[in-house]
Copies of this chain bind each other. A is one copy, B any other.
């Protein structure tokens, strides 16, 4: 999917998908170890430009945030023969207590309740989206058998 001829989505279309979904995948690196994990997120507009917020318990994701590395986040959607995928690249930062309340205004919860959690914000540096047509010639091959 590096094909540059693929139709890119507009910024507005990208944010529409980001606002419509609640599950994405966060990719980050810790000391050369590549990680990817699903997160429940929400778009936050309280600070002006939209950012993404998610909650997490202390652990690998939070460690990556504290280390200050760049992260990448992806959401996608498949409808019929068309798929869309939006990638947000940016820096993640651990919100201090006086900011963490922003999460309370959003439809954002840890999937499995943990009494303690931290709020992380992804501040986008680049948002890109692509649309794909799902050509699946093997489906016909299977039907022919």
Contact = CB atoms under 8 A, between A and B. Distances in A.
Nearest to A88: B36
A142 B109 CA distance: 14
How many copies make up the complex?
2
A8 interface: no
Name the residue in A85, A111, A134, A135 with the highest tally of chain B Cβ atoms < 10 Å from its Cβ: A111
Q: Give the size category of A's interface with B.
A: 35 or more
Interface in A32-84: 32-39, 56-62, 69-74, 76, 78, 83
A3 interface: yes
Interface in A16-39: 23, 25, 27-29, 32-39
7 contacts: A1-B111, A2-B58, A3-B114, A25-B36, A36-B72, A36-B87, A111-B133
